[in-house]
Structure formats: C-alpha cells, structure tokens
Chain A
Amino acid sequence: MNAGALFLAVFLACAVEAVEATTIVLAAGTARDWRSALVGVGAGLALLAGIVAALGPALTAVPLRDLRLFVGALLLVFGLQWLRKAVLRASGHKALHDEDKIFREQLAAARAAQTRKIGLVADWYAFTLSFKGVVLEGLEVAFIALTFGSNQHDVPLAAVAAVAAVVAVVAVGVAVRAPLARVPENTMKFVVGVMLISFGTFWGAEGAGAHWPGSDAALLVLVPSVAAFGLALVAVSKLCASSKAVSEDRASTTREVTTPA
C-alpha cells in the first residue's frame, strides 16, 4: 500500500465523519451556547487523542501477522457496513444523509431543552451534545487511522490525513456557517467502504496465513474489483426498487378498480 492510498482512505473516512460532527456542533452552538459547545468539542478531541495515544503504542507492539488478522477482520466488518449503507442510499432504498434536515432537527431539540450550569460549563446540554457528537463520530475514524497507520508503520501520516480532513471540513463549516449539505457524502462513504473492504480482505487473509499472488500488487486488482462489485449491486438494487414501486403501483390501481364505489 503506498502512502497516497493510506492518506486518501484516512482523509475521506475522517472527512465524512467530520461533516456529521460539524452539523451537531453547529446546532449546539447556534441554538444554545457557543462557548459550552466548543468546550465539548475540546473535551471530545482530548478523549479521542487519549484513546489514540494509549492504543497506538500498544498496536505497534503486536506482531504484524496477528495485527493484520485482527485489523483485517475489523476493517472488513466496518467496510461491509459502510458500503452497504452507501449502496442502499445510492439505489434509493434509504434516504440520502440530509445534513440540512439533521441540522434543523438538532436545532429544534436543542432549543427545547432546559439550560443547566455544571461547574465551568455554562450550558451542560450544549457541552454534552458537542462532546457526544465528536466522540461518537470520531471513534470509528480514530480506529481506521490507527489500524491503517500501524499496518503501514506510518501512524504519523495517518494522523496528518485525519487532522487535514478535520481542518478542511471545519474551515469550510466556519466559512459558510451552515451544515455542509453539498458535500458528496454518500460517494465518499462508498469510496471509503471499498477501501476498507479491499484492505480488510488483503490484511485479514494475509494475517490468517494466506499468500496473495503478486504480493502487494494484488491490491491493484482487489480495489477496482470491490468497486465494480459495489457499483453492480447499486444497479441491481435500483432495478429491485423500481420493480417494487411498479408492482405497488399496480396493486393500488387494482384495488381502486375492484373496490365498489
């Protein structure tokens, strides 16, 4: 795996989650109290940094083969979930992630909640909303960055990719002061899903003792194959969705015709 692929996978995964976290923090800050929301962001980032700092050295101490088996399994499970959601959204079986709608819902919930001061935090609701948003959205990315980085013996590059994605998303969020609704979130999720499955397959099989034909070059076949398979499943799922809609339409027409007036 070259440095470019490592950077791209971590950057995209991190950007997708950063968009979702930014929406939550924007809602907490706009509806409640910016200071408390930003303290929540800081506390969330500190906890994530602590997890990465604790797990990073521990992962590098694990023998590479065992690490690849564990990481491969984890990436495969994550990747299959990411790609499944992306395919469901792309084929119309699931609504696309609407950051504007999520922002409005979060805003309404935040406005309805009562204000409570705890310690130095003026608004506990804004603090916990931001904190939870950052930690929950960031945890998966922290795992992805750590596992990709430790497998490639390049945790610093993975960390740079993660930080670059967060800075880019936050900078755009601050500039437009609105949820980032125009980011092609589903396409990014699809690409990350493809990368996670491909690398999960490669490392998992290698960790279990298999030898890939062509060694690392097998990834050059795996990545496009998984992408093509995902796109084929989008096409098949779209066909299923349209045939289901046609049969439902026919059923409702039949009911209308056969029901006596």
Chain B
Amino acid sequence: MKYFKNFFAFWYDFIVGDDWTVAVGVAVALAVTYAVARTSVSAWWIVPSAVVVIFPWSLWRSIRKG
C-alpha cells in the first residue's frame, strides 16, 4: 500500500507539480477547445487566452504563499 502511495505521489508531483490549478486550467482549456472545434466557431484562441489567465493566477498564488 505504501509503495502505491509513494508511486502515485511521485507521478502526481512530477506531472501536476506544486500548483494543481495549472493542470486543471490546462485540462479545462483543452476540453473547451475540443468542444468548440466541433462547431463552426474558430477554436484556436481558447488555449492562448487560458494561458493569459492561468499563468498570472499561478504566479500570484506563489507570491502570496511566499
């Protein structure tokens, strides 16, 4: 059990890192892009717009944590 816990913790830390909101934000942005791309609306602008929101947000969280 401890082995699985450590294994999961390692991969979580490796992929998600110290700010889980970044991973969630990226997943949401890509999901929205996927959905919008199936309509007649252009979808290329969604991920860059998400980066413009997610990056300062994550930076601000880090600065506030100190």
Contact = CB atoms under 8 A, between A and B. Distances in A.
A87 B55 CA distance: 10
Contact of A208 (B16, B22, B37, B42): B37
Contact of A73 (B18, B26, B51): B26
Interface string A86-110: 0110000110000000000000000
Nearest to A140: B14
Nearest to B37: A209
Interface residues of A, number: 35
A191 interface: no
A170 B36 CA distance: 48
A80 interface: yes
Given A201-B48, A208-B31, A210-B42, 15 more contacts: A73-B30, A77-B26, A80-B51, A83-B55, A84-B58, A84-B62, A93-B62, A140-B14, A205-B48, A207-B30, A209-B34, A209-B38, A210-B44, A218-B44, A229-B55
Interface of A: 69, 72-74, 76-77, 80-81, 83-84, 87-88, 93-94, 139-140, 197, 201, 204-205, 207-213, 218, 222, 225-226, 229, 233, 237, 240
